[in-house]
Chain A
Amino acid sequence: MLELQRVSAHYGPIQALVEVDLVVRAGEIVTLIGANGAGKSTLMTTLFGTPRASSGRILLEGEDITALPPHRIARRGIALVPEGRRVFAKMSVYENLLLGATPLEGAHVEENLQRVFSLFPVLETRRTQRAGTLSGGEQQMLAIGRALMSEPRLLLLDEPSLGLAPLVIRTIFRTIVALNREHGLTILLVEQNARQALKIAHRGYVLQNGRIVLEGSGAALLADPQVRAAYLDAVS
C-alpha cells in the first residue's frame, strides 16, 4: 500500500528524517511510536510533500508520489487526520465534512455522510454547529469523519488521543480498530500512547531522532525490554 524508501526530510538546516524505510501493507494497522520531536509528525506530512522529501522515494500503491503537490497526493486515496485535529473552526460540522469530500468531486457525498454519522452519531446532532465550539473529543471525531469522507484506502492518524479524556480515547481507539477490521481500512497510526497503539497494531516502528531504530509486530514491541523502558513504563 505505502512504501518509504530511504526517505530523508529537512526543516531548513535541520534534518528531521534520516533515510527512513517503512512499509504499510494493505489491511494492516501500523503504528509509529517515539518521543516528542522524534520526527513522527514530520513523517506523516512528508508523505504529503510538506516538507518535501529531500531524498528517497515514497510509493503509494506502487506509484511514485514523492514529487506530487500536496493536493494531488490527497486525491489518491490517502487521508490524514492531523495532529491537533485542525478542523475549520469557523465552519459548521456539515461544511467540514463536505470539505473532506473534496477529492471525490461530489460523488457519494450522501452515503459517506451517513457512514460517518453512524460511526459518530454525535456529529449528526451537531451538524449545524460551528466546529470551533465542539469539545476536543468531538473535534477529533470530526477530523476523523472529515478524512473518511474522501473514501480513503489508507488513513493516517496523527496523535488522535492527544489531550482527550480516557473515556473518549477508548471510543476513538475502538473506532480505529473497527475501521480496520470491519471496513478493511489500512491505517498508519502515530501515537504518544504507545501501549494502546501497540496493542491494536499489527506491526510497529520505533522512531528516534528521525531514524527507525526498531521494528516488529505489535506484540513483539510490547514485550521488547528497550521499548518497555523507553516508551511504556514511563508513560503509565
Chain B
Amino acid sequence: MGYALQQLINGLTLGAMYGLIAIGYTMVYGIIGMINFAHGEIYMIGAFLSVLTYVLCTALGIGPTPLVLLAMLFVSVAFTALYGWAVERIAYRPLRGAPRLAPLISAIGMSIFLQNYVQLTQGARIKSVPPLWQGGVTLWSADDFRVTFGWAQLTVVVVTLIVMAGFAWMITRTSFGRQQRACEQDPKMAALLGIDVDRTISLTFILGAALAAVAGMMAVLQYGVIDFSIGFIAGIKAFTAAVLGGIGSIPGAMLGGLLIGLVEAFWSAYLSPEYKDVATFSILVLVLLFRPTGLLGKPDVEKV
C-alpha cells in the first residue's frame, strides 16, 4: 500500500514533466501538421540553461535558494523560448508548403545539430546540481517504509499545475489563444480575417519551448543530473504521451503525459525498471494500431 502510494507520487512527478513537453509537440502538430522532432532537444537546452544559471548564481554568491530557483526558471524559459523561435525560423519556415517529408527530415537534422552543439560547447560529461532541497512531507509511515512527497517533487507538481492552468486559460480565453486555434483550424481563413499566421506559428513555437524549459528545469530539480543526450528519450516519451492523449489536443497531451508517467513508475516498481522504455513504446505501438486518434483526439470532422 505504502509502496504503491510512493509510486503514484513518483509517477505523477514524472508525468507532469512529460505532459509539459508533450504540449509542445501537440501544439506544433496542431498548427503546422508536423512532428517537431527537435522538441526533445529544446527540453534538454532548457535543462542546461537552468544548470548554467545555477552555476552562475553560486559563483556570484547569489542566494537564497528561492531566488536562485526563480532565476533558473526565468533565464531558462526566456532563452529556451528564443531557441524554439529560431528552430522554426531556420528549419521549418523555409519549408512551408514543401512536401510533408521535408520538414520532418529538417526536424531530425535540427535535433542532431542541437545535441552536437550542446555536446561541443558544454562537454559530453554529466552535469550535476546538488539537491537544492532535502526532505519533504511524510504522508504515511509504517515499519521501515515511509511515503514521502519530496519538496522537489512537490515543486514539480505544483509548478506544472500552475503553468498548465495559466496556459489553458490563455488558449481558451485570450485573443491570442483564439487566433492560435483559428490558425489551427483554417490558416487561410485566419489570414483573410487579418490574423498574421506566421507570427502565430512563431508564438506557438515560443510557447512550446517555454513549457519544455519549465520541464527541463523541473528535471534538474528532481534528478540533479543531466547531459546532452537527455532530450532524445524524454522527447520520444513525451511524443508518445501526445499521441496517447490524441495528437493535436492540449488536454490530451496533459492526460497522456500523466498516464505515461504513471505507467513508467509502476512498471519500474513492480515489473522491471530495465524494461520501462519497452512499456512506454509498446503503448505507442498499441495506440497507433488500435486508436490512432488517441484518448481525447477526434477524427477530423469534414465541414459541409
CB pair A50 B301 closer than 8 Å: no
Give which listed residue, B185, B195, B303, B304, contacts A102 with CB less than 8 A: B195
Q: Interface code A98-134, partner B: CB below 8 Å = 1, 0 otherwise?
A: 1110110010000000000000000000000000100
Give which listed residue, A74, A88, A95, contacts B192 with CB less than 8 A: A74
Q: A91-B182, A95-B178, A132-B301 are in contact. Are A102 and B194 (CB under 8 A)?
A: yes
CB pair B192 A80 closer than 8 Å: yes
B298's closest neighbor in chain A, by CB? A90
Nearest CB of chain B from residue A37's CB, rounded to whole Å = 20
Docked Cα-Cα span, A74 to B189, in Å, equals: 11
**Which secondary structure characterizes the binding site on chain B?**
helix
Docked Cα-Cα span, A98 to B178, in Å, equals: 9
From 70 to 92 in chain A, residues with beta carbon under 8 angstroms from any chain B beta carbon are: 70-71, 74-75, 80, 82, 84, 86, 88-91
Give which listed residue, B185, B194, B303, B304, contacts A71 with CB less than 8 A: B194
CB pair B178 A99 closer than 8 Å: yes
Determine whether A48 belongs to the interface, using a CB cutoff of 8 Å to chain B.
yes
Determine whether A31 belongs to the interface, using a CB cutoff of 8 Å to chain B.
no
Determine whether A146 belongs to the interface, using a CB cutoff of 8 Å to chain B.
yes
Determine whether A56 belongs to the interface, using a CB cutoff of 8 Å to chain B.
no
CB pair B191 A71 closer than 8 Å: yes
Determine whether A161 belongs to the interface, using a CB cutoff of 8 Å to chain B.
no
Docked Cα-Cα span, A90 to B185, in Å, equals: 8
Q: Which residues of A sit under 8 angstroms from B121, Cβ to Cβ?
A: none
Q: Which residues of B sit under 8 angstroms from A89, Cβ to Cβ?
A: 185, 301, 303
Q: How many A-B residue pairs have CB under 8 A?
A: 66
Q: Interface code B161-181, partner A: CB below 8 Å = 1, 0 otherwise?
A: 000000000000001001101
Determine whether A27 belongs to the interface, using a CB cutoff of 8 Å to chain B.
no
CB pair A88 B185 closer than 8 Å: yes
Nearest CB of chain A from residue B11's CB, rounded to whole Å = 32
Q: Interface code A138-149, partner B: CB below 8 Å = 1, 0 otherwise?
A: 000000001000
CB pair A90 B181 closer than 8 Å: yes
Nearest CB of chain B from residue A110's CB, rounded to whole Å = 15
CB pair A71 B196 closer than 8 Å: yes
| B residues neighboring A (CB under 8 Å) | 175, 178-179, 181-182, 185-186, 188-197, 301, 303-304
Q: Which residues of B sit under 8 angstroms from A70, Cβ to Cβ?
A: 188, 191-192
CB pair A84 B303 closer than 8 Å: yes
Determine whether A150 belongs to the interface, using a CB cutoff of 8 Å to chain B.
yes
Nearest CB of chain A from residue B64's CB, rounded to whole Å = 42
Determine whether A184 belongs to the interface, using a CB cutoff of 8 Å to chain B.
no
CB pair A98 B175 closer than 8 Å: yes
Q: Which residues of A sit under 8 angstroms from B186, Cβ to Cβ?
A: 86, 88
A44's closest neighbor in chain B, by CB? B192
Docked Cα-Cα span, A88 to B304, in Å, equals: 12
CB pair B193 A102 closer than 8 Å: yes
From 40 to 75 in chain A, residues with beta carbon under 8 angstroms from any chain B beta carbon are: 48, 50, 69-71, 74-75
Other than A71-B192, A150-B194, give 10 A-B pairs with Cβ distance below 8 A.
A71-B191, A71-B194, A80-B192, A82-B192, A98-B175, A99-B193, A99-B195, A102-B179, A102-B195, A106-B175
Docked Cα-Cα span, A69 to B195, in Å, equals: 11
Q: Which residues of B sit under 8 angstroms from A132, Cβ to Cβ?
A: 301, 303
**A-B contacts, 27 listed (Cβ < 8 Å):** A48-B191, A69-B191, A70-B191, A71-B192, A71-B197, A74-B191, A82-B189, A86-B186, A86-B189, A88-B181, A88-B185, A89-B185, A89-B303, A90-B185, A91-B181, A91-B185, A95-B178, A98-B178, A99-B179, A99-B182, A102-B179, A102-B194, A102-B195, A103-B193, A103-B194, A136-B304, A150-B194
Q: Which residues of B sit under 8 angstroms from A48, Cβ to Cβ?
A: 191-192
Give which listed residue, B179, B193, B303, contacts A74 with CB less than 8 A: B193
